[in-house]
């Protein structure tokens, strides 16, 4: 080869060879930085026949902005690497720089589907720091609104689940149900999504006539409508076949992966914070903890069906709340500026997606020194990496949707 | 407050706990050293009268003069939450053994704590940043990382600090302006 051959022939921009010559269209490496851990190095090295498929961060069925790097061999997923952080807002840091009352609105957009629960855990932790007793009426209102939101969240889950599997109709019915619930919550909170309703020592507003009439109207047909919505999906053969047998989680795996919520109960572990570590007025209420998959673990269908069981229990709780609702104040008497004594407190509630916890440290000022938020979706999301191996790409969405992640909570 | 749990912990881990077992509301709190952490956690998880099988949370804390890692555990044997605080990690090189051997699900929680505090969990197979981009260089939840508009500890503290945009006079790159008593 002579030296002159090293010179590239002149290419005009319309020359078809321009895309074939040289290194155009080739990456130096994926990802474009040296691997930071052995696991990353192992994941990003391809064996024969394997390739990467980047899903997201704008994939519509990732329940937020999640990116998943799939390593695939043909139609099979060999391994996957979820990449988080596209929604990270640094809420914990913001909370450490906000006073105690302000935090309630800071944490609202975390898990935007059931944001009363994101308020409930911090508020409970601060009440522990301050040694406040919440009036019973306020506790009943919290349980009532919380369970309403649980029903709406599970309804939305049902719709998303179907949407991820290609069914368009159920989400429309889910949103009818959700809309009725957020409308009645809007009557007392003024908001449809980020309620900012719970307060340290109580709740922001009492139940009013509009809420009660909407609730009464809805309760008279809620169970029937729920059964109708169930029939839409549960009797659909394609849906059931695609869900059954994939993403099996057994008791041991669920405990080891620190999973909580419906996902652990669908694996045969009856862990529900409402019963396991009772808070608020749940000890006074009569309801069951549905458990599925106790023989050999639960699959995606079990996780789906378990949430439907939970809706029925929630309706039972709402009914009892309405019958037992005591009279009295809705706020404890507290100063405007809160300065709890130095100390630590941990409080956890059972959110629709699992244990939602807050760990707060007070240093005696009006802002928490440290506030850690534990979001169940964050932990549950880890299961995807375990469950997807050797499954089909198309099943990734079915498994992921059955775990019910909300990226707002995962990314904090 | 579960007095029996306190007794059990005091007799079982006699001499290994840093400081007394503390109880408040429905929480029991023990402080342990990083050297004993894995042994104590294994005992808490495995032994029939403790059985703390559920890892509810893992949180890093920068107290201003040291780092801590806090674990919240749940067991069916006690009505209390158990808080295990691994104490005394130096701020310039915080290292602690990973608990992914016991709970593989702690992997992401440890990654998050690493991302936010720079605490290194020895034995975690995948300890890289989880929220912040790979080329990010600092650890945002450390107490020497403060927001640009944070003048909360300034002489005007207590009024709306978000309105105060100046950098406080005593702020220097590595200054910790807020500390908390650890025990």
What is residue A16's predicted lDDT score, i.e. its pLDDT? 53
Query: Which residues of B fall within a CB distance of 8 Å from A366?
Result: 158
Residue B164 is predicted with a pLDDT of 44
Cβ distance B53 to A378 less than 8 Å, yes or no, reads no
Which structural domains are found in chain B, ordered by start?
Answer: 3-122 (3.30.460.80)
CATH numbers and ranges of domains, chain A: 91-383 (1.10.645.10)
Distances (CA, A) of A232 to A159, A164, A237: 10, 15, 11
Mean pLDDT, rounded, for B67-76 = 92
CB contact under 8 A, A382 and B107: yes
Instruction: Give percent of chain A above pLDDT 70.
Output: 92
Least confident stretch, A212-226, A343-357, B1-15, B159-173 = B159-173
Task: Categorize the per-residue pLDDT at A233 as very low, low, confident or very high, splitting at 50, 70 and 90.
Answer: confident
State ipTM.
0.86
Contacts of A412 in chain B (CB under 8 A): 131
Q: How many CB atoms lie within 10 A of CB A386?
A: 16
Query: Are the beta carbons of A337 and B81 separated by less than 8 Å?
Result: no
How far off is chain B from A37, nearest CA to CA, in Å? 6
Q: pLDDT (tens digit, 9 = 90+) per residue, A307-319?
A: 999 999 999 999 9
**Chain B partners of A110 at a C-beta cutoff of 8 Å?**
none
A–B CB contacts, 8 A cutoff, strictly below: 131
Report the percent of chain B where pLDDT is more than 90.
39
Cα–Cα distance measured from residue A18 to residue B17, given in angstroms and rounded to the nearest whole number: 69
Query: What is the distance in angstroms between the Cα of B110 and the nearest Cα belonging to chain A?
Result: 11
From the list A409, A411, A401, A410, the residue with the least C-alpha distance to A108 is A409
Distance, in Å, from the CA atom of A140 to the CA atom of A330, rounded to the nearest integer, reads 10
Helix spans in B30-161 (H): 37-46, 106-117
Mean pLDDT, to the nearest integer, of A83-101?
A: 88
Chain A residues touching B26 at Cβ < 8 A: 277
Verify whether the Cβ–Cβ distance B108 to A379 is below 8 Å: yes
Decide if pLDDT at A337 tops 80. yes
Record: contact B104-A39, CB cut-off 8 A: no
- Check CB contact under 8 Å for B158 and A40: no
A340-390 pLDDT, tens digit per residue, is: 989 999 999 999 999 999 999 998 888 899 999 999 999 998 888 888 888
Q: In chain B, what percentage of residues exceed pLDDT 70?
A: 80
Q: Compare all CA atoms of chain B with the CA of A85 and give the residue at the minimum distance.
A: B131
Q: How many CB atoms lie within 10 A of CB A321?
A: 22
Q: How confident is the model at residue B69 (pLDDT cuts 50, 70, 90)?
A: very high
Mean pLDDT of all residues in chain B? 82
CA-CA distances (angstroms) from residue B25 to A13, A14, A131, A344?
A: 74, 76, 9, 11
Q: Are A360 and A126 in contact (CB under 8 A)?
A: yes
Optimal mutation site among A99, A263, A346, A386, interface B, most CBs of chain B within 10 A: A346
């Amino acid at each position: 080869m002579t030296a002159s051959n090293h010179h590239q022939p002149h290419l005009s921009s319309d020359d078809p060879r321009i895309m074939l010559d040289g290194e155009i269209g080739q990456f130096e490496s994926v990802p474009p930085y040296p691997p930071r851990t052995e696991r990353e190095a192992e994941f990003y090295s391809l064996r024969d026949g394997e390739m990467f498929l980047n899903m997201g961060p704008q994939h519509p069925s990732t329940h937020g902005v999640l990116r998943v790097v799939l390593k695939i061999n043909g139609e099979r997923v060999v391994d996957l690497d979820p990449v988080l952080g596209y929604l990270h807002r640094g809420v914990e840091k913001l909370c450490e720089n906000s006073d105690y009352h302000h935090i309630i609105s800071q944490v609202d957009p975390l898990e935007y589907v059931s944001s009363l629960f994101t308020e409930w855990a911090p508020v409970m932790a601060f009440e522990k720091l301050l040694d406040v007793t919440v009036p019973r009426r306020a506790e009943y209102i919290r349980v009532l609104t919380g369970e309403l939101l649980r029903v709406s969240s599970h309804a939305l889950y049902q719709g998303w689940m179907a949407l991820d599997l290609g069914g368009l109709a159920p989400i429309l019915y889910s949103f009818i149900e959700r809309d009725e619930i957020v409308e009645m919550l809007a009557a007392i909170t003024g908001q449809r999504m980020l309620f900012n309703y719970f307060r340290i020592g109580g709740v922001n507003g009492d139940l009013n006539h509009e809420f009660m009439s909407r609730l009464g109207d809805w309760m008279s047909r809620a169970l029937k409508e729920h059964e109708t919505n169930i029939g839409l999906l549960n009797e659909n053969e394609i849906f059931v076949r695609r869900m059954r047998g994939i993403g099996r989680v057994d008791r041991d795996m669920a405990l080891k992966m620190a999973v909580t919520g419906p996902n652990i109960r669908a694996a045969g572990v009856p862990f529900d914070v409402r019963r396991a570590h009772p808070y608020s007025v749940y000890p006074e209420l009569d309801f069951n903890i549905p458990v599925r998959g106790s023989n050999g673990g639960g699959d995606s269908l079990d996780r789906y069906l378990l949430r439907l069981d939970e809706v029925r229990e929630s309706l039972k709780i709402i009914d009892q709340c309405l019958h037992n609702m005591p009279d009295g104040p809705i706020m404890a008497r507290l100063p405007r500026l809160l300065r709890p004594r130095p100390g630590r407190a941990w409080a956890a509630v059972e959110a629709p997606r699992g244990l939602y916890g807050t760990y707060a440290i007070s240093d005696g000022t009006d802002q928490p020194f440290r506030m850690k938020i534990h979001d169940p979706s964050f932990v549950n999301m880890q299961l995807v990496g375990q469950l997807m191996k050797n499954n089909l790409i198309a099943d990734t969405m079915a498994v992921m949707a059955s775990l019910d992640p909300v990226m707002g909570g995962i990314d904090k | 407050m579960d007095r029996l749990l306190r007794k059990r912990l005091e007799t079982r881990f006699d001499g290994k706990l840093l400081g007394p077992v503390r109880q408040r509301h429905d929480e029991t709190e023990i402080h342990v050293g990083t050297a004993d952490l894995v042994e104590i956690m294994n005992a808490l998880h495995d032994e029939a009268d403790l059985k703390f099988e559920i890892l509810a949370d893992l949180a890093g804390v920068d107290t201003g003069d040291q780092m801590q890692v806090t674990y919240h555990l749940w067991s069916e044997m006690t009505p209390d939450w158990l808080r295990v605080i691994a104490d005394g990690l130096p701020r310039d090189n915080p290292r602690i053994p990973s608990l992914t051997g016991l709970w593989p699900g702690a992997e992401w929680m440890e990654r998050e704590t690493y991302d936010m505090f720079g605490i290194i969990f020895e034995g975690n197979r995948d300890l890289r940043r989880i929220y912040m981009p790979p080329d990010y260089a600092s650890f945002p939840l450390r107490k020497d990382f403060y927001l640009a508009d944070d003048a909360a500890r300034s002489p005007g503290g207590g009024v709306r600090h978000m309105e105060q945009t100046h950098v406080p006079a005593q702020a220097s790159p590595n200054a910790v302006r807020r500390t908390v008593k650890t025990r």
